[in-house]
Amino acid sequence: MRRPVARKLTVLAVSAAVVSVGAAAPPASGAAPAAKTPVAVGYGGAVASVDADATAAGIEVLRKGGNAVDAAVATAAALGVTEPYSSGIGGGGYFVYYDAKSRTVHTIDGRETAPLTADSNLFTENGRPLAFADAVSSGLSVGTPGTPATWQTALGRWGTQRLGSVLGPAERIARDGFVVDDTFRSQTAANETRFRYFPDTAKLFLPGGKLPVVGSTFKNPELARTYQELGKKGVGAVYRGDLGKDIVSTADNPPVDPGSGWKARAGKLSVNDLAAYRAKVQAPTETGYRGLKVYSIAPSSSGGTTVGEALNILENTDLSKAGDVQYLHHFIEASRISFADRGRWVGDPAFEDVPTKGLLSQRYADERAKLISDDAVLTSPVAPGDPDDPGSTGTAAPTTYEGENTTHLTVADKWGNVVSYTLTIEQTGGSAITVPGRGFLLNNELTDFSFTPANPAVHDPNLPGPGKRPRSSISPTIVLDKANRPVVAVGSPGGATIITTVLQVLTEFLDRHLPLVDAIAAPRASQRNAAKTELEPALYNDPVLRGKLEAIGHSFSLNPEIGAATGVQRLPGGKWLAAAETVRRGGGSAQVVNPVR
């Protein structure tokens, strides 16, 4: 991974120096990696993702008359080719859609589910929790995939094109290949050991037994055929057909290299799990902030409630007038408090009584904000509050681990519709198990469950259960003005750091008035109710800023890279601005249909 550029907290107008571009052509064999531009401005719609080929796939669909939903599915499918360690049809995600005609926001929970035979002891053996690494690279970690159902649900409700049509660009990229860049190679290298446990994975991602070479063309004809089958048969091929049977067989009998010595525990998936799966269309979370309306995903993800609660807490501070020290201090403390409440209250609402309305109430946030002092730091773990009894506190518990690799895309179209969509297979490389002959990796999403209660004295809402969705931190967000028109849409990968990344991008953009690309590029901090706040190098290595924060009582650790956000912003006159990372994950790709300078 490339590290963020060392820079001050306030980043100066990167956007002014970047020329906007339209769609990039698919790479030819032996060509350089597709060029990436982190910001683009123009008409006809916009797409931002981490990958230039995937962004171009979305632009292609927009140019052919598709809407934002069509383009989002096309982009996501292409990311399944070019970012296969972060996404794909073997995973799940959360889809947030703004409908310009009705000026309303809708969401889809496409989170993976535990097998119907799972119970709270899914990740325990002999009364003890499994080692995390043992659980990850196993069939036991594989949940019922939700991504195909999410695509079909979104297209069926709000799209204008058939699944087979929007899968076309991704099928072509898989068949003809894309050019390997440093990020793809480094992510492969990081997973090389466990990829070699599974012969089908090694054959696909370690061609000729070696790491892919930067500048070489990587082809995935098996995935091209899988997309072609999905396009012809629909997602029933996954949930009621042969493709689904292959997924179940692979998860339940992981095809391990006998010479590797790896014990890949068998999964518990069945064809009944796939047949029972449904992507849930549900109401978004809604939070008022500085006169705007902030919409995101409701539980099973904790993203909407946790970002929303933190924003409500920050309403008590005028961040537009705050210096860097005060801004970061309040941002860190609001994050700390909201994560304490997340851990206590948020789980799958089909199984848990999640007080979503209470967590998002301004009255509750105002009570929690009283914990914050300008000249002292809260001690983590902070105890959770109770939305039904705002003055009371519960028992403190640490935040559980969540895998950090995911991918996010943001799309707008010429009619004003917007999509903010985060999809994932959990860890970088997911479970490391490739479905033989199918060209994609299976997720390890079930490791997002608590293996055992975070605090044995208190009910943990995130323990496994039959058909239960593990808690997520995914936070695709759309902000509307008073007239219910889009202002900005953002999202990010990064496990539990997704929440703090989205919160920071929003406050940098809305409060500190940075251009969107600069708000995305700004060096990040992440506090998740832990003893230390993680800082990217530009903040960690700033002795003056860090020293002032440490004088208040803050403690820090270094994190080389936090998140990889993308966003779109509505501009006057029908224009859109697309923005992506300038450096993180090798930089992102922002494109528009008809660019202007």
Cβ pair 410, 491 in contact under 8 A: yes
Q: Output the pLDDT for position 456.
A: 82
Cβ pair 209, 203 in contact under 8 A: no
Distance, in Å, from the CA atom of 543 to the CA atom of 588, rounded to the nearest integer, reads 29
Cβ pair 91, 74 in contact under 8 A: no
Closest CA to 91 of 52, 146, 131: 146
- 236: Cβ–Cβ under 8 A, 6 or more apart, which residues? none
Q: Output the pLDDT for position 340.
A: 96
**Residues with catalytic function:** 406
Residues forming beta bridges with residue 525, ordered by sequence position: 535
DSSP H or E segment with residue 22 = none
Cβ pair 532, 556 in contact under 8 A: yes
Q: Is 137 strand, coil or helix? A: coil
Domain extents for the chain?
14-281+401-595
Q: Output the pLDDT for position 176.
A: 98
Q: Output the pLDDT for position 124.
A: 94
Type of residue found at 340? A
Q: Output the pLDDT for position 400.
A: 66
Distance, in Å, from the CA atom of 494 to the CA atom of 517, rounded to the nearest integer, reads 18
Q: What is the mean pLDDT for each group of 10 consecutive residues in the chain (597 residues)?
A: 34 37 39 82 98 98 98 98 97 98 98 97 93 96 98 98 98 98 96 97 96 97 98 97 98 96 96 98 98 98 98 96 97 98 96 97 97 95 91 71 79 98 95 98 96 86 97 97 98 96 98 98 97 98 98 97 97 97 96 94
Q: Which CATH architecture has domain 14-281+401-595?
A: 4-Layer Sandwich (3.60)
Distance, in Å, from the CA atom of 562 to the CA atom of 503, rounded to the nearest integer, reads 13
Three-state SS annotation for 274-302: HHHCCCEEECCEEEEECCEEEEECCCCEC
Distance, in Å, from the CA atom of 382 to the CA atom of 308, rounded to the nearest integer, reads 18
Cβ pair 254, 138 in contact under 8 A: yes
Q: Output the pLDDT for position 395.
A: 74
Q: What are phi and psi of 286, to 5 degrees?
A: -135, 130
Q: Output the pLDDT for position 31.
A: 56
- Which tokens is 38 given? 């982190």
Q: Output the pLDDT for position 15.
A: 40
Q: Output the pLDDT for position 4.
A: 29
- 492: Cβ–Cβ under 8 A, 6 or more apart, which residues? 408, 422, 475, 498, 501, 502, 505, 563, 564, 565, 566
